[in-house]
Amino acid sequence: MTELLPPARVLIVLPTYNEAENVGPLTEALYGLGVAGLQVLVVDDQSPDGTSQKARELRARFPGLRLIERSGPPGRGLAGKDGFLYALERPEIEAVVEMDADFSHQPRHVPQLLAALRHSDVAIGSRRAAGGRDRDRSLARRALTFLANAYARVLLGLPVLDTNSGFRAYTRKALEAIEPATLRSTGPSIVHEVLYRVARADLKVAEVPIEFLDRKAGASKLTLARLAAGYFWILKLLADRLRRRKKKK
């Protein structure tokens, strides 16, 4: 049977690892937004908790839902990259939103991010823009985010208040300029690598204030090793920045 679905225009990329409890309610909330041509893409890394099985079951209710079941090395960065490449292969997709699948990024902010794309190339869901909030999490967790953000902003000279945010919307033009095929970071630091490319390509960035919540179900995947890898990645990007500066002189 051919599916009678509106053509996908806005792709929501959800990287998932052990989000079986969240993927259903989140998919429902996203399709409930009433955004025309919205399509959800779950990019799962063989989660042992059966996230992809859940996503497959959800297709009975949401036939537009797509699922990439990744094999090979896992990672938040690799999953995000696959989502971007999926969008670029489909010319009907005009905008891409990436967001965490744990309800830290609330669906209600999606229309605000999309609205900001009317006058910008990239819209960032920002805890640090006026009106933004990050008060729900422990002080230690917020302090960690604060330090990582300051480190990335200063070393990479990024003109963005919330560089760590993985809640973003991109126009197709922005995605093309980012050249996802050559992104190299495998983990969460993809957010910095992408932002670094956004700045280099002189894309117009808008920061949309969001209320960031602590995850409601499931466990965090942030480990000390991942955190350290993220800090190291920023140093690699800094080396690239300095090399380019030298060449320019």
Ligand X SMILES: Nc1nc2c(ncn2[C@@H]2O[C@H](COP(=O)(O)OP(=O)(O)OP(=O)(O)O)[C@@H](O)[C@H]2O)c(=O)[nH]1
**Residue numbers at the binding site for Mg ion (CB under 5 A):** 100, 102, 104, 215
Whether the CA torsion 179, 185, 188, 191 is positive or negative: it is: negative
Among 33, 222, 229, 238, binds ligand X (CB under 6 A): 222
| Rounded alpha-carbon distances, angstroms, from residue 221 to 49, 77, 83, 206 | 14, 13, 19, 28
Nearer of residues 52 and 104 to Mg ion, judged by Cβ: 104
Q: What is the dihedral of CA 138, 12, 183, 47, to 10 degrees?
A: 70
19 in contact with ligand X (CB under 6 A): yes
| Beta strand segments in the chain, E | 10-16, 38-44, 66-69, 95-98, 122-126, 168-171, 205-209
Nearer of residues 45 and 121 to ligand X, judged by Cβ: 45
Stretch touching ligand X by CB under 6 A, among 37-45, 53-61, 116-124, 175-183? 37-45
CA 25-219-59 angle, 5° bins: 30
Nearer of residues 74 and 180 to ligand X, judged by Cβ: 74
Q: Which does 17 bind (CB under 5 to 8 A by kind): Mg ion, ligand X, none?
A: ligand X
Give the number of C-alpha atoms closer than 13 A to the C-alpha of residue 135, restricted to the C-beta side: 4
Question: Residue for token digits 């960065």?
Answer: 77
Mention every residue, 6+ apart, whose C-beta is less than 8 A from residue 146.
none
75 in contact with ligand X (CB under 6 A): yes
- What residues does 39 pair with on adjacent strands? 11
Stretch touching ligand X by CB under 6 A, among 1-9, 58-66, 128-136, 219-227? 219-227
Stretch touching ligand X by CB under 6 A, among 30-38, 88-96, 101-109, 173-181? 101-109
Counting every residue written for the chain, the total comes to 249
79 in contact with ligand X (CB under 6 A): yes
Nearer of residues 22 and 52 to Mg ion, judged by Cβ: 22
Among 13, 15, 31, 163, binds ligand X (CB under 6 A): 15
Among 40, 74, 165, 190, binds ligand X (CB under 6 A): 74
54 in contact with ligand X (CB under 6 A): no
Instruction: Count residues near ligand X (CB under 6 A).
Output: 20
**For residues 134-193, which are near ligand X according to CB under 6 A?**
188
17 in contact with ligand X (CB under 6 A): yes
Judge residue 212's burial from the number of C-beta atoms within 10 Å of its C-beta, 0-12 exposed, 13-18 middle, 19 or more buried.
buried
Stretch touching ligand X by CB under 6 A, among 39-47, 119-127, 149-157, 193-201? 39-47
In 3D space, the residue among 4, 13, 8, 80 whose CA is nearest the CA of residue 38 turns out to be 8
Under the rule (CB under 6 A), what is the footprint of ligand X?
15-17, 19, 43-45, 74-76, 79, 100-102, 104, 188, 215, 220-222
